[in-house]
Amino acid sequence: MEERNSAGGPPPAAQDPSWDAVILHVDMDAFFLSVELLERPDLRGRPALVAHRGGRSVVLSASYEARRSGVRSAMPLAHALALCPGVAVVEPRHEGYTAASRQVMDILGSFTPVMEQLSIDEAFLDVSGARRRLGPPARIGALIRERVRERTGLPCTVGAATTKSVAKIASTRAKPDGLGVVPGAQTRAFLDPLPVSALWGVGPVLQRRLVEAGLETVGDIAAQSPRRMQRWLGSNGPVLVDLARGIDHRAVVPEREAKSLGVERTFDVDVTDRDELHRILVALSHECAFRLRRSGVRAGAISVKLKAPDLTVRNRSRSLAVPVDSAGPLAEAAEELLAELLAARRHPARLVGLRAERLSGAGVAVQDALPWEDEGAEADWSEADRVADDIRRKFPSAALRPATLVDGGPAPRRPRLR
Amino acid sequence: MKFTVERDILTDAVSWTARSLSPRPPVPVLSGLLITAEDGLVSIASFDYETSAQLEIEADIETPGKILVSGRLLNDIVRSLPAAPVTVETEGSKVIVTCRNSRFDLATMPVEEYPALPELPESAGTVDGTAFAHAVAQVTVAASKDDTLPILTAVKLEIEGDRITFLATDRYRLALKELTWSPADPSISTSLLVKSRTLTEVAKSLAGGGDLELRLPKETSTSDLVGFSSGGRRTTSVLVDGEYPKIRALFPESSPIHAVVATGPLVEAVNRVKLVAERNTAVRMVFTDGQVALDAGTGNDASANESLDAALEGDEITVAFNPSYLGEGLNVIDAPYVRFSFTTAPKPALMTAQQEPDAPEQDDYRYLVMPVRLTH
């Protein structure tokens, strides 16, 4: 039985300096590569990286030994090979990563239900409610690292702070295989000396502008007036000042189990061009399929939503022969549904949406089609999608799109209407 | 027009023609049955632009004539009449149906507005009705039930001399059946696509007894109809147009692994085990020397397993199937033993019939099914 303070105040452990650092950022170290090392212990301690072997491949994950030679994630493979000639290249196996990720997330979920998964290898936890049971956040962070290592054999780094932003910076500074704790009282002291690039949202371009204006450290930004920064950088200005001061009101939002998954696009100018609509549907299908795969589910049905300039909304749905998580079949069904909606009533589109419905776990059974000679494309779809995902979920902002969606790419091939 | 006929004969005739009426007729007159009385014969016909059905019955004809009357209503009426002679008679724009003390007045529709019935193509030969119906049941099981790819709702009939090959697929499984028949021209070589639904209907309503005549358009004609007739009943249907995918190549050239299992016990085992296989999950079959173990479900929820004798030739293999695809295939195998032929686990699996555990396989019916991939 835990010792309780009869006055109802915090228990003695609350004296621990990390007591208020309840937001934890858990980040797996060189995740894809670490998973590979479980099977390839011979590569431990050697420069190694994960990448598809092929013409224009990029590095998906690199060992810290390889990083010493300047190899970075997202770097073209050819470039990495030039920097680090003896580097071992391991072909990615997405099933392994998905399974390991699920295992890790299960472990994290056992510490607190207030968990927000950011990507395949990162999550935020809010451990406020777990402190009485498990102790101060610094101890919970250590426990998480120990448990993940023990159950999966994989290293991770944990950052603990009072806000998401600072927790993420803390984990970045503590990498690899470390624990960084920034109690509330030490937040400013921790942030002030860091380069401005440590802040969320500061990329190379913004960094240059800030440095040129004489703002080199986070402390320099924290000292600015939010109003002045707003005049200079627009609405991002005050946000940046807040982040620099350690202020971040975003809560850890657990993802609810989705019943359906929708994506939609509203247009500034109503769209009439049929090919343009097709192009948009293909883009939405890719976005939707990516999110399905990220959630590890498949859609058993799909619906298309169409809003007319007079704001009336019509929906049309259909079930799919087999549950899918790839964009090809989604786009095919969506195109037919859109054609049916437009056949019933033709009008320019103010909004087009796509919703995947009747979601079911993908971790069970997948019914493939027979290997048709003239339809080999179908089987290739899912593999192509998965390769794209590996890249996309490591580098969420990377632009990887089907050719139809690239400006100047092949003209869209819209199925003819029956 | 006025004729009298026994209720049973009329009921049979009306219900047979009425079953091919469209539930949503494209024009109102097509909801009617066209009834013609002349020369001692009453002909009843239905048509929905796609399918036509026509038959003739003998009757006492007092006044010849032609009427068009609601098929659904007439069908409901004759079915409810007492077992006695029924008289059908026109009176002005009405038709009167009387039987003993019952009398019904029905509105008629204008005969002139009824489209011309398609002409019945010439007979190309005959096939045993029962064998035809059996073949249709074995093949249509694999035809697509949804319209995603409309051509896959058709069955392909390839006719070469005295052999008809039926082919159907819904992309996940494929059925092939070979049947011998008696063609009028022994050198016939043609192929046609017939809606799976049409074949099922023909098997049910025409193939009941004796020979079935298969009627095909002449090579030279532009007709796109196929016809079937048997014992005075005949039906025509519009052929499906298009290029059917080349699916014969999907059958593996050789299969190093074979397993023979008693069909009946396997069907029962699959039906039991699949109770715990939720939607989208699979029934797994683990073939080892001398037995096959079936399991389904997951450790977390419900799971089930069961073992049966199996004669395995080749390497041990584990394959998972969609329980419906497996069950539907087994149901139409229709032999004491089923033979599974595998190349490797993720490749399509072939199911064929076998009379004895060590008898040679029968290859007149082949059911190819794509296994389910189990991920984690």
Q: Rounded mean pLDDT of A287-302?
A: 84
Asked, as a colleague might, if the bond just before A176 is cis with ω within 30 of 0, I would say yes
Q: Taking Cα atoms as reference points, which of B318, B305, B309 lies closest to residue B274?
A: B305
3-state secondary structure of A60: coil
Kindly report the backbone phi and psi dihedral angles of residue A344, in degrees, each rounded to the nearest multiple of 5, phi listed first.
Answer: -70, -40
Inter-chain CB proximity B375 and A333 less than 8 Å: no
pLDDT tens digits, A337-375? 999 999 989 999 999 999 998 887 645 567 778 887 654
Hey, what are B190's tokens? 């043609």
Nearest to B274 by CA among B266, B166, B181: B266
- Which two structure tokens, joined as six digits, stand for B89? 């008679």
- Written as six digits, the tokens of B178 are 């070979």
Q: At what angle do helices A327-344 and A274-294 cross, to 10 degrees?
A: 140
- Chain A and chain B share a number of CB contacts under 8 A equal to 78
Q: What is the mean pLDDT of residues B299-307?
A: 71
Among chain B residues, CA nearest to A296: B376
Task: Report d(CA B89, CA B2) in Å as an integer.
Answer: 4
Which whole number is the average pLDDT over B185-205? Answer: 92
Mean local confidence (pLDDT), A247-275: 82
Chain B residue whose CA is closest to A363: B376
State the alpha helices, DSSP H only, in chain B.
Answer: 7-18, 71-80, 129-140, 196-205, 263-273, 323-333
Banded pLDDT at A303 (limits 50, 70, 90) = very high
- Across B155-170, average pLDDT: 96
* Chain A hits for B243, Cβ within 8 Å: none
Report the pLDDT averaged over residues A187-192. 95
pLDDT of residue A142: 96
Take residue B183 and report the two structure tokens written for it. 């063609």
Based on C-alpha coordinates, what's the Rg of chain B?
25
- Judged by average pLDDT, the poorest of A284-298, A302-316, A362-376 is A362-376
Q: What pLDDT, on a 0 to 100 scale, did the predictor assign at position A108?
A: 92
What does chain B come to in residues? 376
Mean pLDDT of all residues in A66-93: 90
- Please report, rounded to a whole number, the percentage of residues in chain B having pLDDT higher than 90: 70
When pLDDT is averaged across residues A250-279 and rounded to a whole number, the result is 82
ipTM of predicted complex = 0.77
User: Does A291 score more than 90 pLDDT?
Assistant: no
- The minimum CA-CA distance between B64 and chain A, rounded to whole Å, is 45
Q: Please, what is the average pLDDT of chain A?
A: 83
Percent of chain A with pLDDT over 90: 44
| Partner residue facing A367 (CB), from B245, B247, B372 | B372
Question: How high is the pLDDT of residue A13?
Answer: 57
Q: Which listed residue (A65, A122, A287, A332) is catalytic?
A: A122
Contact A95 B375 (CB under 8 A): yes
Is pLDDT above 50 for B334? yes
Confidence of residue A8 (pLDDT cuts 50, 70, 90): very low
What 3-state class would DSSP assign to A352? strand
pLDDT in tens, A216-260: 999 999 999 999 888 888 888 888 999 999 998 888 877 655 678
**Residues ≥6 apart with Cβ < 8 Å to A1:** none
Those residues whose C-beta lies under 8 Å from the C-beta of residue A64, and which sit 6 or more positions away, are: A29, A30, A176
Rounded to whole angstroms, the Cα distance separating B21 from B25 reads 8
Write out the two tokens for A49: 């990286």
- The model's confidence at residue B376, banded by pLDDT at 50, 70 and 90, is very low
B146 vs A72, residue with greater confidence:
A72
- Give the Cα separation of A221 and A211 in Å (integer): 10
Q: Provide mean pLDDT across the span B200-220.
A: 86
Task: Say if residue B220's pLDDT is above 90.
Answer: no
The pLDDT confidence band at residue A74, using thresholds 50, 70 and 90, is confident
Q: Which pLDDT does position A411 carry in this prediction?
A: 47
pLDDT of residue B307 exceeding 60, the answer is: yes
Phi, psi for A173 (deg, rounded to 5)? -70, -20
Q: What is the mean pLDDT of residues B331-354?
A: 92
Strands B2-6 and A349-361: unpaired
The predicted pLDDT at position A414 comes to 52
Q: What is the pLDDT of residues B232-280, one digit of tens each?
A: 899 999 999 888 988 888 998 889 999 999 999 999 999 888 887 765 5
pLDDT-above-70 percentage for chain B: 96
pLDDT for the residue B191: 93
| Per-residue pLDDT tens digits for B96-118 | 999 999 999 999 999 999 999 99
pLDDT value of position B159: 96
What is the pTM for the complete model shown? 0.56
User: From the candidates B176, B241, B279, B280, which should be mutated to test the interface with A, based on the most A CB atoms within 10 A?
Assistant: B280
The answer to whether the Cβ–Cβ distance between A371 and B368 falls below 8 Å is no
Which residues on chain A are in Cβ contact (under 8 Å) with B169?
370
**pLDDT of A379:** 41
Interface contact flag, A365 B279, Cβ < 8 Å: no
Residue percentage of chain A with pLDDT more than 70: 83
More confident position, A200 or B164: B164
Per-residue confidence (pLDDT) for residue B222, from 0 to 100: 77
Report the residue of chain B nearest A418, measured CA to CA: B150
Tens-place pLDDT, residues B187-196: 999 999 999 9
Per-residue pLDDT tens over the stretch A127-166: 988 888 899 999 999 999 999 999 899 999 999 999 999 9
> Taking 50 as the threshold, does the pLDDT of residue B366 lie above it?
yes
The answer, yes or no, to whether residue A378 has pLDDT greater than 50, is no
Which stretch of DSSP H or E encloses residue B176?
Answer: strand B173-180
Residue A122 among the catalytic residues: yes
pLDDT-based confidence at residue A185 (cuts at 50, 70, 90): very high
Predicted confidence (pLDDT) at residue A324 exceeds the cutoff of 80: yes
CA gap B75, B86 in Å, rounded: 13
